[in-house]
Amino acid sequence: MKVMIGVAHPKQVHFWKNIIRNLIEDGHDVKIVAWEKDLTLYLLDVYSLEYEVVGKNYKGLVRKAYGMVESDLKSLKIAKDFKPDILVGGSPALAHVSRLLKRSYIYLIDTEHAILAYWLTHPFSDIICTPTCFKKKVNFKKHIVFNGYLELAYLHPKYFKPDPSVLDELKLDKDDKFIVVRFVSWGAAHDIGDKGFTSNREVVKSLEHYGRVLISSENRLNRGLEKYRIDISPEKIHHLLYFAQLYIGESAPMSTESAILGTPAIFVSTSRRGYTDELESKYGLVYNFSDPSTMEKSALKKAFELLENNRLKKEWRRKRDKMLSDKIDVTKFITKLIESY
């Protein structure tokens, strides 16, 4: 079988890498098309995944519309040569191409407020696949749900082994307390109108009393904060999150990644996600703060409370084990879904 997979975001590289390897090992022919966004192409290269570039991450709705047409045309040209049996993932482009070529398309989505992407994709889809915690009602004849999170496809213990050498790169000892802070650019289509921290400097300076602060940021930092930026190879960030005492930031995926790794996570954003809400309400692994008038102050208060708990990581490992015992092997599930369809 020939499978065409779209990768439009760094998280998608992590999500698909093990599934792609499974498909190849099972004898299938895989074609990857990718978009230039943040570290997407870098990660594809690191994991030795061959790809063809079909688009960029343009800013602004007008330029994004142009980019969609551009990626549609490039993806169509590649698909005509490759002749896929099924297309999955990526941006709406592969859904559009699947309809033009009369091939099947599987749409995976876990972000409820990605409304524009949803409406550009679902009319051309054959299957819509969501986690059970997805809160948006999906009116679709072939809606498949799975009991897991997309992040489990690459961070489940079956697929991820933490490497302590990442600590040596940052001159950290295994007993050192450090906090990972994430600032996002708010440039995605589904981020329009949303916001997070009001004062990045205040957040960092407040947390510094409890340990070393390490910043992951999509944007340039001002001079006072640049010295806190994480200076490791990007593919090692999950190893760092595993050993961190706490994660606090504006990224829902990174909040989930931290939780899955057994690190307490605080998500600060005016938008919410079904998966981070479930990780809080059902497992107590994440704390969500979304009220724009109080979220920064409340998030920092919760961070201070957690950092004063000397048994914090042990407690989170137990919570993590409970979550893992409930969830499925997402990599295996998606591989079989593609192969069976």
CATH number of 2-146: 3.40.50.2000
Give the domain ranges of the chain: 2-146, 165-326
In the predicted structure, residue 188 carries a pLDDT above the cut 70: no
Q: What is the pLDDT of residues 189-237, one digit of tens each?
A: 444 456 778 888 999 999 999 999 999 987 788 878 999 999 899 999 9
Q: Is 132 exposed, middle or buried (0-12, 13-18, 19+ CB in 10 A)?
A: middle
Asked if 40 and 10 count as a contact pair (C-beta separation under 8 A), the reply is: yes
Q: Taking all residues of the chain, what is their mean pLDDT, rounded to a whole number?
A: 92
Asked if 143 and 128 count as a contact pair (C-beta separation under 8 A), the reply is: yes
Averaged pLDDT, 11-31: 97
Look at residue 175 in the predicted model and tell me its pLDDT: 86
Averaged pLDDT, 232-249: 96
In the predicted structure, residue 180 carries a pLDDT above the cut 50: yes
Asked if 239 and 166 count as a contact pair (C-beta separation under 8 A), the reply is: yes
Averaged pLDDT, 257-279: 96
Q: How far apart are CA 115 and CA 191, in angstroms?
A: 11
Nearest C-alpha neighbor of 302 from the set 210, 195, 215 = 210
Q: How far apart are CA 177 and CA 53, in angstroms?
A: 40
Look at residue 202 in the predicted model and tell me its pLDDT: 92
Look at residue 193 in the predicted model and tell me its pLDDT: 53
Look at residue 304 in the predicted model and tell me its pLDDT: 97
Look at residue 195 in the predicted model and tell me its pLDDT: 74
Asked if 50 and 31 count as a contact pair (C-beta separation under 8 A), the reply is: no
Q: How far is CA 101 from CA 82, 104, 120, 272, in A?
A: 11, 9, 17, 36
- Which pTM does this prediction carry? 0.93
Q: Tell me, which fold does domain 165-326 have in CATH?
A: Rossmann fold (3.40.50)
Q: What is the pLDDT of residues 122-174, one digit of tens each?
A: 899 999 999 999 999 898 889 999 999 999 999 999 999 999 999 999 999 88
Look at residue 190 in the predicted model and tell me its pLDDT: 44
Q: Computed from CA positions of residues 107, 112, 115, 116, in that sequence, does the dihedral angle turn out positive or negative?
A: negative
Question: Is the model more confident about 338 or about 192?
Answer: 338
| Run of H or E residues at 281 | helix 274-281
In the predicted structure, residue 75 carries a pLDDT above the cut 90: yes
Look at residue 98 in the predicted model and tell me its pLDDT: 96
| Sequence-distant (≥ 6) Cβ neighbours of residue 167 within 8 angstroms | 173, 174, 176, 240, 243
Look at residue 196 in the predicted model and tell me its pLDDT: 75
In degrees and rounded to multiples of 5, residue 130 shows phi and psi of: -135, 155
